[in-house]
Amino acid sequence: MKEKFDIVSEICSQKVTTTYSTSFSMATKMLAPTIRQDIYNIYGFVRFADEIVDSFHDFNKEELFNKFEADLHHALENRISLNPILNSFQHTVHNYKIDQHLINSFMDSMRQDLSKSEYRTTEEYKQYIYGSADVVGLMCLKVFVKGDEAKFEELKEAAMHLGSAFQKVNFLRDLKADYETLNRTYFPNTNLSALDENSKKEIIDEIEKDFRKGYEGILMLPAEAKFGVFMAYRYYRRLLKKLAKTPAMEIKNARIRVPNYEKFGLLTRSYVKYQLKLVK
């Protein structure tokens, strides 16, 4: 007789998504109803973990994170949690057989944000992105392919590139907040206090490579997922273009964003492209 609590849990995950991210919730609404809720469930989980390490400055973050991690393990083992976000997440994990390795890698990267402030080597940087972004893309891919392991393996690399691209755009967009508020720098071999146009271009070129490889995977996604993921891709590409046109000094001093009216315009144009079969 857990059905009502499961419904409440799902509503909570959906509410977290719509409250925290206009762009992601807009893209998620473009997914087929058969898979939409499970993406809300994944987003709610990753958002809560991220909020602990990024936002709760007046509280003991490590203590909160340890409690969240213990509750996560309990939820996965017992298939229930009184934390509605974890309750809905565990349902998706079990329903699509999401690998424990993906969850552990995500939590490991989030834990690093409690104490690590600088990523000095490319290896450290790649490992952090794998845990904080690539594995989230892989969790979503498990849902998109509905348990088809052959399809998952076929699209795995592209999904990781797309997750990397999204995360790197976030890093560039949030440069000021990460550096000044959280005392973090993610890009290795880059002096963010003296970010110049050449350094910015190198970062953007790297992101563009990820986007190209990620787009190849979007074209091969099942119909239920393709338009929603394409919408997220279009949004992040638009944000990257704005960052490319913004002087490096301005990126360091302000958070660049895509206004809501532009997001809705992107949605309309993306839908037209999709309906005209321009996304093949």
Residue 215 within a domain: yes
232-250 pLDDT, tens digit each: 999 999 999 999 998 887 8
Reduce the secondary structure of 102-115 to three states and give it as a string.
HHHHHHHHHHHCCC
- What is the average pLDDT score of the chain? 89
Cα 103 to Cα 78: distance, rounded to the nearest angstrom: 16
| Contact indicator for 213, 158 with CB cutoff of 8 Å | yes
Cα 100 to Cα 129: distance, rounded to the nearest angstrom: 18
Dihedral angle over CA of 13, 14, 15, 20, nearest 10:
90
Q: Is 66 exposed, middle or buried (0-12, 13-18, 19+ CB in 10 A)?
A: middle
Max Cα-Cα span within the chain? 60
Range of the domain at 187: 3-275
Q: Which CATH number goes with the domain that contains 208?
A: 1.10.600.10
Number of structural domains the chain divides into = 1
Residue 244 within a domain: yes
pLDDT (mean) for 11-40: 94
Phi and psi at residue 56, in whole multiples of 5°? -90, 65
In terms of pTM, does the model score above 0.75? Answer: yes
Cα 193 to Cα 280: distance, rounded to the nearest angstrom: 42
Residue 203 within a domain: yes
Residue 103 within a domain: yes
Residue 195 within a domain: yes
Strand partners, 185: 118
What pLDDT does residue 264 have? 47
Residue 255 within a domain: yes
What pLDDT does residue 271 have? 45
Model confidence at 204, pLDDT cuts 50, 70, 90, reads very high
264-278 pLDDT, tens digit each: 455 555 544 545 454
What pLDDT does residue 159 have? 97
122-146 pLDDT, tens digit each: 899 999 999 999 999 999 999 999 9
| Contact indicator for 68, 52 with CB cutoff of 8 Å | yes
Residue 96 within a domain: yes
Residue 280 within a domain: no
Measured between its terminal Cα atoms, the distance across the chain in Å is: 44
| pLDDT at 214 > cutoff 90 | yes
| Contact indicator for 258, 23 with CB cutoff of 8 Å | yes
- CA torsion through residues 240, 267, 213, 161, sign: positive
